[in-house]
Chain A
Amino acid sequence: MTRDRQPPETDSFSLLKDLSETPGVSGQEEGIRDCVSVHLAPLVDDLRTDTLGNLTGHKRGMNPCGNKVMLAAHMDEIGLIVTRLEQGFLRFAPVGGVDLGALPAQEVTVHGRTDLPGLIASRPPHVLTPQERENPFSKAELFIDVGLSADALAESVSVGDFISVRQSAAELGNGQATGKALDNRVSVVVLLQALRLLQQRRHAWDIYGVVTVQEEIGLRGAVTATFHTAPDVGIALDVTYAEQPGASAEEAMPMGGGPAIGLGPNLHPVLRELLVNTAERTEIPYTNEVLPGNSGTDAWAMQVSRSGVPTALISVPVRNMHTPAETVALKDIERSARLLAETICALPDDMSALALDRNG
C-alpha cells in the first residue's frame, strides 16, 4: 500500500493527530504500520517488518560493544470485528478490552471491501421500559448500522471484517489533546520524538525501535519481537491512568506531571535507577508508578524473553482510557521523549553495571 504524502509535520500534535486518526485494530495493523513507517524511516538506518507485523527501526550506535536496547511501543488499538450479518445490520465482538459503556451511539468505520461509515445502533429510551432504561446496554442489544440493504451489505462486508472507532483528534485547552487510540499512539510519538532528539546525539548502544502489534490481545507482538531482537535492555513505552474523578488515587498519575517511571517486580531496579537519575540530572519532571505485579504492558513480555531481559517502563498518563475520548497533556509526551533519549545516551558500556546486588 502506498500513500501519497506531504513531507510529514514533526510537531507532537501533528504526529499524534496523524497516528491517532489512522486505523489499526489489533490484527489489522497494515494501515497504521504504513503511517508509522513514513515517520520512522528518516530517523533510522533500516526498517523491517517481521512475521507477525511488528515494525522495527534499527539505529546504529557509535560503539562496537554491540549492546542492543529495544524500545517497544505498540501501534495496535482496541476495536471490533464482524461476527454475523443480520437483516442488514452487523453483529460484532470486541477485539481487546473494549469499554462497552462508551460504545452506544458511537460512529465507527467498518473495514469491509471498502471503508464504510457506520454507527453503533441503540434503541431509544422512549420505547424502553423503566427497568430497561436503568441498565446499560448489553452486547446482545447492540448492532452496527451502515445504512445499506441486506443484499448490498452482504456485497461489501463479510464476517471477520475489522471495525475501528471513528473520531478525529483535536487540541483542547492547556496544551492537552484528545482523540481515539491515544493508547498507544501517544507512545509511538514518544518513540519518534526520542529518535529525532538522538539524531544530534552520540549514543553507544544500537537502538531497535519496535512498534509492536497485537498488544491489546495479549502482548503477542512483543513476545516474538523480543525473542527475535534478543536485546540486552528493554524499555517499554505505554500509557497509564491519569488522575480523574472515579480513578483510584493511588493508581492514577497526575496529568502534566511528566512521564511515569514504572516501579515493581516487572521492572529491573538498577535500570529503573538509571531512568530516575537521568530524569533528576536533566531536570525532567517525572512520577513513580507502583505496579505490584503484571504491568499489563509489553514490559511484562520483554522481561521473561529467552533467559531474561532487564526491562524498564515509561508511561504517559491518559484520561478516559479505552474510550474514544482519551486525553493527554502534550508536554508529557515531549518530556517522555527527552527522558528516553537521555537514558539511551546514559546506558553503560559494561553490562555488569546493571547487575543486581552490586552492593553485596
Chain B
Amino acid sequence: MRALIEELCGVFGPSGDEALIRELISQHLTGLVDEIRTDRLGNLIAVRRPTAGNGDGKRIMLAAHMDEIGVMVTHVDAQGFCRFTTIGGVLTNTLIGSRVQFANGVEGAFGMEGSPLSRERPTPQKLFLDVGASARENAAVQIGDTAVFRSSFGAVGDRLFAANLDDRIGCAVLIQTLRELESSPHEILAVFTVQEEVGTRGAATAGYGLEPEVVLAIDVTATGDFPEATPMEVALGKGPAIKIMDRRMIVHPKVRGWLENAAKTNDIPYQLEVLELGTTDASAVQISRAGVPAGTVSIPCRYIHTPSQVADLNDARQAVSLLAYALGGEFA
C-alpha cells in the first residue's frame, strides 16, 4: 500500500485539472469494479454491484478526492516572471521556499518582491513564480496554466511525508479497500471526486447524479498532537478517525454507530474527531436532493495544506480494514 500512496502522490492533479490523476486511478481500478465512467464535471465513478446478501444492501457512495491544492498563472511579465493566484486553501506563509511543478514538467520557484531579509509576511500580491524564463516570449507557461506543490516523497519508519497526502492517501485507501473487500451486500459507488479543495463541487454533482443511500468521505483530518496545536483529541498512529462534526456537517448518528461497531467488533483502533476547520465531500452529498446519511473516515495528517504533510501508514491500513469490515456487513 505504501507503493500505491507514493505512486498516487507523484501525479499532477490540481482542482479543475484532474485528467492525469484520473487516468492513473482508472488504471488501478481495472478488474476491481463492474463499471467505470467519468461524469460531466470529471468525477471518476467506479461501481461494484452487490456480491452477497439477498438484495437488502444499500447504495453506498465512497468519496475520495483526486484534486490537490495548487496555483494558477495569472500574468507573465516582460522578464518572464509569473504572477499567480491560489487554487484551494493554500497557506501563503508556506510558499517561500517551496517548489511547484506544471503539467508539462516545468518547475517553479517562489520569489518575493524586495529584500530577502525583509520580515514582512508574504501576501500573494507580493510573490511571483520564477519558471526559468528570461522573457515573456520564452516562458514555457501561460495564463491559466496550473501547478502543484512538490517535495520528494519521504518516509521515516511508517511516517510518510509528501506534499499532497491530502487526499491521495484517501484515494489509496479507497483503491485498497476495493482490493480487500471480498464480498458485500451493498452496491459500492467508489467516486474519485474533482474540485473538493475549491468547495466540494465535484461531490455535489456526483451526489445528485448517483442518489446514494449512504455516503462516506475518505479524507485527511487535522491533529492535536504537536506543540501548541488547537486542542483536539486526534493523533497520528492511533488509527483512523471517525468524524462526528466539522465546519459544515454533523455526521448522521447511524453512520457513526455503524463505523464504531465495525471497529469495535474487529479490534480496529479508532479515534473520534471533532474538527473546527474544514470539511469533506460528505458535507455536500449530505444535503443532496432530500438528504443522505453521511459520515467520514479520516486519516490523521499533520500540516495539511503545506508542502510537507505527515501521516502514518498504519492509520491508512487500519482505515482500509475498518472500511472493508463495515462494507462487508449490514448497514445498521
User: Could you list which residues of chain A lie within 8 angstroms of chain B, going by C-beta atoms?
Assistant: 26-28, 50-52, 81-86, 91, 93, 95, 140, 158-160, 214, 217-218, 220, 223-225, 227-228
Contact = CB atoms under 8 A, between A and B. Distances in A.
A83 B289 contact: no
A157 to B, nearest CB: 11
B155 interface: no
Contacts of B289: 224, 227-228
Given A26-B250, A93-B276, A217-B248, A224 B231 contact: no
Q: Count chain A CB atoms within 10 A of each CB in B233, B248, B249, B272 and give the residue with the most.
A: B233
Interface string B226-253: 0000011100000000001100111010
Contacts, number: 71
27 contacts: A27-B250, A51-B290, A52-B291, A82-B274, A83-B231, A83-B233, A84-B231, A85-B233, A86-B231, A93-B245, A140-B231, A159-B233, A159-B244, A159-B271, A160-B245, A160-B272, A160-B274, A220-B249, A220-B286, A220-B287, A223-B287, A224-B289, A225-B290, A225-B291, A227-B289, A227-B290, A228-B290
A162 B163 CA distance: 35
Majority SS of interface residues in chain A? Answer: mixed
Given A27-B245, A95-B245, 18 more contacts: A51-B252, A51-B291, A83-B231, A83-B274, A84-B232, A85-B233, A93-B276, A159-B244, A159-B273, A160-B274, A217-B250, A223-B287, A224-B289, A224-B291, A225-B290, A227-B291, A228-B289, A228-B290
B224 interface: yes
Contacts of B291: 50-52, 223-225, 227-228
B304 interface: no
B293 interface: yes
Contacts of B248: 217-218
Nearest to B241: A159
Contacts of B249: 217, 220
Nearest to A213: B250
Interface of B: 224, 231-233, 244-245, 248-250, 252, 271-274, 276, 286-287, 289-293
A214 B274 contact: no
B290 A93 contact: no
B250 A83 contact: no
B290 A81 contact: no
A296 B302 CA distance: 34
A51 B276 contact: no
Contacts of B272: 158-160
A30 to B, nearest CB: 8
Contacts of A86: 231
Contacts of A81: 244-245, 274
Nearest to B256: A160
B138 to A, nearest CB: 48
Nearest to B272: A159
A27 B244 CA distance: 10
Contacts of A140: 231
A84 B276 contact: no
Contacts of A91: 231
Contacts of A93: 245, 274, 276
A84 B249 CA distance: 19
A51 B211 CA distance: 13
A83 B276 contact: yes
Nearest to B293: A51
A140 B229 CA distance: 11
A318 to B, nearest CB: 24
Contacts of B293: 51
A218 B284 CA distance: 12
Contacts of A158: 272
A81 B274 CA distance: 8
Contacts of B224: 84
A164 to B, nearest CB: 14
A220 B274 CA distance: 18
Nearest to B242: A160
Contacts of B287: 52, 220, 223-224
A116 to B, nearest CB: 18
Q: Count chain B CB atoms within 10 A of each CB in A81, A93, A95, A223 and give the residue with the most.
A: A93
A91 B224 CA distance: 12
Contacts of B271: 159
Nearest to B228: A140
A85 B286 CA distance: 29
A227 B288 CA distance: 9
Contacts of B231: 83-84, 86, 91, 140
Contacts of B233: 83-85, 159
Nearest to B248: A218
A224 B291 CA distance: 5
Pairs A-B, 4 closest by C-beta atoms: A27-B250, A224-B291, A160-B244, A228-B290
B250 A214 contact: yes
Contacts of A26: 250
Nearest to B245: A81
A224 B290 contact: yes
A52 B291 CA distance: 6
A38 to B, nearest CB: 21
A224 to B, nearest CB: 3
Q: Count chain A CB atoms within 10 A of each CB in B232, B245, B271, B293 and give the residue with the most.
A: B245
A88 B231 CA distance: 15
B247 to A, nearest CB: 9
Contact of A83 (B232, B286, B290, B292): B232
B288 to A, nearest CB: 8
Nearest to A143: B231
B167 to A, nearest CB: 22
A214 B292 CA distance: 14
Contacts of B276: 83, 93
Contacts of A220: 249, 286-287
A50 B289 CA distance: 12
Nearest to A52: B291
A278 B21 CA distance: 59
Contacts of A95: 245, 250
Contacts of A160: 244-245, 272-274
Contacts of B292: 51
